[in-house]
């Protein structure tokens, strides 16, 4: 069981190095091919303007997006050169208006086993970074590995925290992460404040643990109280306590609109995580 087709999308220079390094490490370990897309984005939103000026603004914006795509493509190739000759890869570049990013990324992600991306939040990240992640998961139906600025500590990951709440999203993430889980030295199924009257009330995470063990995963269960204000805080504390290299979780349990307005575990985790986060929906 392995990933054979990986995708990385670059929308700013800051995250190129960590994302490429993590993707290349996975590709070499699983004998996979790595596809990379340098994406220049036209972020202009044409509203009221003088007659005829809209076309000029759009032309300038697209030229700037083309320059960005060429810059990102050059940075991607430089990062790939540092990975050595044993990596199979291909680089392409494209430009799109912000509203068309989802369709472009989804078309690439749909034929990928795993999409590896830089963290979508930070001083240099624009709105297109979050749009890329959501397009890969929702329209592309692909799992996403989000890599922080510090990169991926180990490949394969030695210790993994698997966030489990019995949801559809958590199960999808678990199944999609199986190539990583089977290679880990320890997988801790972490259940935070399980419902007292739920279907797994007598043994939270037990059936999932049994399933994973049958696949050869070195799994165990940890049931934690919600001792911190947010679920994401509890999960990050758990990652720190066991020295985890990777967090696996279901993404966007609520609607994306509600997540954007109110926050939610997905957004909080992506904003604060210091280790890679594997997500699927």
Q: Write the pLDDT tens digit of every residue in 241-255.
A: 999 999 999 987 655
Report residue 237's pLDDT band, with 50, 70 and 90 as the boundaries: very high
pLDDT at 50: 47
> Side by side, which strands form the sheet with 114-118?
88-97, 33-42, 5-10, 114-118, 144-147, 277-280, 246-250, 159-163, 186-192, 219-224
Task: Round to whole Å and give the CA distance between 105 and 134.
Answer: 9
pLDDT tens string 134-152: 999 999 999 999 999 999 9
Neighbours of 197 (CB within 10 A): 6
**Do 39 and 126 contact (CB within 8 A), yes or no?**
no
**Contact (CB, 8 A) for 50 and 112:** no
Predicted confidence (pLDDT) per residue in 200-218, tens digit: 778 999 999 999 999 999 9
pTM of the full structure? 0.90
What is the residue whose two structure tokens read 């929308």?
11
Tokens of residue 200, six digits: 């797994």
Query: Could you identify the residue written with the tokens 């349990």?
Result: 253
Cα–Cα distance, 17 to 15 (Å, whole number): 6
Closest CA to 232 of 259, 195, 202: 259
Render pLDDT for 26-59 as a digit per residue (tens, 0 to 9). Answer: 999 999 999 999 999 987 765 545 445 555 566 7
Domains in the chain, start-ordered, CATH in brackets?
5-147 (3.40.50.620), 159-275 (3.40.50.620)
Answer yes or no: is pLDDT of 261 > 60: no
């Amino acid at each position: 069981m392995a990933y054979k087709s990986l995708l990385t999308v670059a929308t700013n220079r800051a995250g190129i190095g960590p994302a490429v390094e993590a993707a290349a490490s996975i590709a070499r370990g699983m004998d996979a091919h790595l596809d990379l897309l340098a994406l220049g984005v036209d972020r202009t939103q044409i509203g009221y303007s003088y007659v005829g000026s809209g076309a000029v603004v759009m032309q300038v914006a697209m030229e700037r997006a083309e320059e960005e795509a060429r810059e990102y493509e050059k940075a991607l190739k430089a990062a790939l050169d540092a990975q050595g000759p044993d990596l199979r890869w291909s680089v392409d570049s494209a430009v799109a208006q912000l509203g068309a990013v989802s369709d472009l990324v989804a078309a690439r992600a749909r034929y990928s086993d795993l999409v590896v991306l830089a963290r979508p939040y930070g001083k240099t990240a624009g709105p297109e970074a979050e749009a890329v992640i959501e397009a890969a998961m929702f329209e592309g139906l692909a799992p996403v590995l989000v890599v922080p600025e510090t990169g991926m500590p180990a490949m394969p990951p030695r210790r993994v925290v698997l966030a489990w709440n019995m949801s559809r999203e958590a199960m999808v993430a678990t199944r999609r992460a199986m190539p990583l889980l089977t290679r880990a030295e320890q997988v801790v199924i972490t259940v935070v404040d399980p419902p007292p009257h739920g279907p797994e009330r007598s043994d939270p995470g037990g059936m999932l643990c049994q399933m994973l063990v049958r696949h050869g995963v070195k799994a165990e269960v940890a049931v934690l109280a919600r001792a911190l204000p947010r679920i994401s805080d509890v999960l990050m504390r758990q990652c720190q306590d066991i020295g985890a290299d990777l967090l696996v979780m279901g993404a966007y349990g609520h609607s994306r609109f509600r997540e954007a307005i109110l926050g939610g575990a997905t957004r909080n985790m992506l904003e604060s995580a210091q280790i890679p986060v594997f997500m699927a929906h």
